Amino acid sequence: MLKSDPKRFYITTPIYFPSGKWHIGTCYTTIVCDAIARFKKMDGFEVFYLTGTDEHGQKIEKVAKDKNLKIMDFLDEQASSLKKLWELLGVGYDKFIRTTDDYHVKAVQRIFSKLYEKGDIYKAKYEGHYCTPCESFWASSQLIDGKCPDCGRTTELAEEESYFFRLSKYTNQIIDLIESNPSFLNPKSRQNEMLNNFLRPGLQDLCVSRSTCKWGIKLPFDEKHVAYVWIDALVNYISALGYGSDDDSLFKKFWPADLHMMGKEIVRFHSIIWPALLMALDIPIPKRVYGHGWLLFGEDKMSKSKNNIIDPIELCSRYTVDAVRYYLLREVPFGNDGAYTNRAFLLRRNADLCNGLGNLLSRTTAMIDKYFSGVLPSPLVDSELDLGLKETANNMLKHIRCHMDALSVPDALGEIWTLIDASNKYIDETKPWVLAKNNSDMPRLGTVLYNLAESLRIIATFLSPFLIDTPNKIFDCFSLECPKLFDGVTAFGLLKPGTVVKISDKLFDRLDVEKELSTIDAQNASLGCHDIAKTDVSANENAFPIIKSQIDHNDFSKLDLRVGIIKTAEHVKKSEKLLKFTVDIGIEERTIVSGIAKYYDPSALIGKSVTVVCNLAPVKLCGILSNGMLLCAEDSSGDVVLISPHKDLQAGSVVS
Ligand code: MSP
């Protein structure tokens, strides 16, 4: 019997190609999965989190040769450096698989035999292209400008005797899997990509062995061939659980996987080839495959081959592991690409970790120390103001669980920052320093400080899956241990009055962003990483604000945006900034005042199409009631332009 207990959770990252150098882009998948795995553990699931290294194939053979190393020496060193990196980043996997491990080799061989005996593998000649960096086969018709469609690099012509897997046979089953089970592959854009680019045109049988590459697992029925590295690699997800071995208890317990997570460029291996193989083997398919976006540097995918990488070890040692984890988990819009810039990283660190969270902790603990000699007071005098804070805290588990189930990790963190912001606002509103002036207000002051301490305990509890040291530092201030489970610890009001409270050391020191950026640039330049220095300098010049927190479709649908046509335009008397417009929005004409006098001659705007926010509450500007807003964009030089449709549309056309 396969897994029946819904409280188990099997999550995997792709196994990493040892390439000599790890960067924060490669850390992304693993850190995200780590946060999900930790969250699930705290939420009461028995979790198995798998990661590892993908150690066969032509690329490895070549890299080791270029480095003049024996392949296994190179691989041992790489696996050990990756494990150290995961340790540094606080990644708590349950198993680290290496595809050179014995049990894995045996499982791959068994699977090949099974498929061969079943008639799903046959011998033929491969004629086509091969991309060594991606270890992918491509037909000429699939190349883009003669290059690999995935990585844009030059491919080699390959002509060799091979074994083929009857992938084409499974086309309709995979289409059905994706179409009738929308939660199998996400985000939705990846479903369309797989269906339109690969499945609907019809799958070709897949070459699954190499006879020209020697570094691989020998096929049991033909030792001149080694397994194609992608088939070898995909099998890790079940070989790690003991599939095909004498002890397959983990397989029975955890398969099918609850979540295979990977970067978008390798989704087709996981959502087409892998399920087809499993179907051929009569093994249940994984429940969910998620292809996240890339971490970019500038406009490019961060990757060693582009020499645009940011070293995670360097970043952690300068700015702490938690700052790196926080940035990756919060800033990169999950499912989409997200650009890394040193500026955005430093700004996030200062704003959210140092100001938001750090200040809350230091202010709260310092006030408990000052006004109550470091002993947590009892909550004796409630007020209306406390209700919002308590409600936000009490709803956290429900909201965060919902975001984590949807794999919206940045939103889950956003939820925690809602409580941090609410707590800081609560300090501003309750003004403890004013309460402290009156003896009669001491019970209320004690309540306020108790509530803040309790918020911090809840904040630390929910931060535990995401950050490593910070939650412990917060718990330490309140003489508490980090809880193992959310169960029973997330309700407001559990902290014991009388607890000894320590003043916190600074959680994160405030950095001078400009100074840091110059230091980083100087260091990059002296290390010869001119591209990185230059890219970040230009990012500085652009200085666009960081992306605001994500909103959902429901939030967006509240906006009523329409095309408007400007009927009249004039300067507002006594104002250098404002122009007054009459705008036709189809169903009526509106008066709208806009601060764009510096950028436009009003007479030149008459008859122009613009985008109008129609349901914004009216405001009075220089005595004129402005009923709506004209959308504008500002570039990095400060120039402001109205946003217009690129061809004429009727007034009132809905923008969505
Ligand atoms: N070995 C294969 C996976 C086989 S799984 C059966 C492989 N390895 S990889 O080392 O190239 O990539 C490992 C993971 O790192 C992938 O999820 C990949 O998408 C991710 N990333 C590598 N560079 C990345 C970014 N710049 N940004 C985000 N993720 C990136 O593919």
Which structure tokens are listed for 232? 């070898």
Cβ–Cβ under 8 Å, residues 165 and 124: no
What whole-number distance in Å separates Cα of residue 79 and Cα of residue 52? 8
DSSP-derived secondary structure letter, 500 = B
The pLDDT, as a whole number, for residue 79 is 96
Q: Of all protein residues, whose CA lies closest to atom 8 belonging to ligand 1? A: 16
Rounded to an integer, what distance in angstroms lies between the CA atom of residue 414 and that of residue 532?
Answer: 29
Nearest-CA neighbor of 297 among 98, 612, 531? 531
CA 551 to chain centre: 15
Task: State the residue for tokens 């491990």.
Answer: 101
The C-alpha atoms of residue 314 and residue 27 are separated, in whole angstroms, by: 13
82 ligand 1 Cβ < 6 A: no
The radius of gyration of the chain from alpha carbons, rounded to an integer in Å, stands at: 29
Q: Which residues of the chain have pLDDT under 70?
A: 1-5, 305-306, 524-551, 636-638
**pLDDT, tens digit, 9 for 90 and up, residues 488-540:** 999 999 999 999 999 988 899 999 999 998 888 777 665 554 444 444 433 33
Query: Is 294 near ligand 1, meaning CB less than 6 Å away?
Result: yes
- What residue owns the CA closest to ligand 1's atom 5? 14
- DSSP 3-state of 30: helix
What average pLDDT is seen over the chain? 91
pLDDT of residue 558: 84
Query: Which is it for strands 609-613 and 300-301: parallel, antiparallel or unpaired?
Result: unpaired
Every domain of the chain with CATH number 2.40.50.140 lies at 553-655
CA 399 / ligand 1 centre spacing (Å):
30
Identify the residue whose C-alpha is closest to ligand 1 atom 11: 17
For ligand 1, is residue 303 a contact (CB within 6 Å)? yes
Ligand 1: residue of 11, 12, 13, 16 to mutate (most ligand atoms within 8 A of CB) is: 16
* Distance from C-alpha of 96 to C-alpha of 83, rounded to nearest angstrom: 8
How many angstroms separate the alpha carbon of residue 24 from the centre of ligand 1? 11
Q: How far, in Å, is the centroid of ligand 1 from the Cα of 97?
A: 16
Question: Does the beta carbon of 17 lie inside 6 Å of ligand 1?
Answer: yes
In terms of DSSP bridges, do strands 632-634 and 579-584 run parallel, antiparallel, or are they unpaired? unpaired
Check pocket membership of 18 for ligand 1, CB cut-off 6 A. no
Nearest to 89 by CA among 33, 134, 135: 33
User: 297 CB under 6 A from ligand 1?
Assistant: no
Supply the pLDDT for residue 524: 66
Q: Ligand 1 mean position to 26 CA, how many Å?
A: 6
**Nearest one of 17, 52, 57, 106 to 209, comparing CA atoms:** 57
**Calpha distance 539→546 (Å, rounded):** 11
Distance 453 CA to ligand 1 centre (A): 41
**Residue 627 CA, ligand 1 centroid: distance in Å:** 50
User: Regarding the domain delimited by 8-292, which CATH topology (the fold level of the hierarchy) does it fall under?
Assistant: Rossmann fold (3.40.50)
Report yes or no on whether pTM surpasses 0.85.
no
Cα 550 to averaged position of ligand 1 atoms, centre (Å): 25
Which residue has a Cα nearest atom 12 of ligand 1?
16
Q: 229 CA to middle of ligand 1, Å? A: 15
pLDDT value of position 4? 57
CA-264 nearest atom, ligand 1: 19
| Residue 345 alpha carbon to ligand 1 centre in Å | 22
Q: Is residue 301 lining ligand 1, measured as CB closer than 6 Å?
A: yes
Looking at domain 553-655, what is its CATH homologous superfamily?
Answer: Nucleic acid-binding proteins (2.40.50.140)
Q: Do residues 35 and 409 lie in contact, with contact meaning Cβ atoms separated by under 8 Å?
A: yes
Is the beta carbon of 24 within 6 A of some atom in ligand 1?
no
Ligand 1 atom nearest the C-alpha of 17 is 10
Element (H or E) spanning 282, and its range?
A: none
The pLDDT score that the predictor gives to residue 637 is 56
Task: Give, in order, the Cα–Cα distances in Å from 379 to each of 445, 458, 514.
Answer: 9, 16, 43
Going across the sheet that includes 289-292, the strands are: 95-98, 46-53, 8-12, 259-263, 289-292, 185-186
- Distance CA(198)–CA(426), nearest Å, equals 54
Q: State in Å: Cα 73 to ligand 1 middle.
A: 22
Question: What's the gap in Å between 402 CA and the centre of ligand 1?
Answer: 27
By residue count, the chain amounts to 656
The answer to whether residues 216 and 210 touch, using CB atoms and an 8 Å cutoff, is yes
Alpha helices in 439-576 (DSSP H): 442-463, 469-477, 513-526, 530-542, 553-557
The predicted structure's pLDDT at residue 540:
37
The CATH number that domain 360-477 falls under is 1.10.730.10
Q: Would you give the DSSP letter of residue 602? A: G
Cα 262 to ligand 1 centre (Å):
7
453: Cβ below 6 Å to ligand 1? no
Q: What angle do CA 330, 331, 334 make, to 5 degrees?
A: 80
**Range(s) within the chain of domains with CATH label 1.10.730.10:** 360-477
Q: Whose CA is nearest to atom 18 of ligand 1?
A: 263
Determine the pLDDT at residue 538: 39
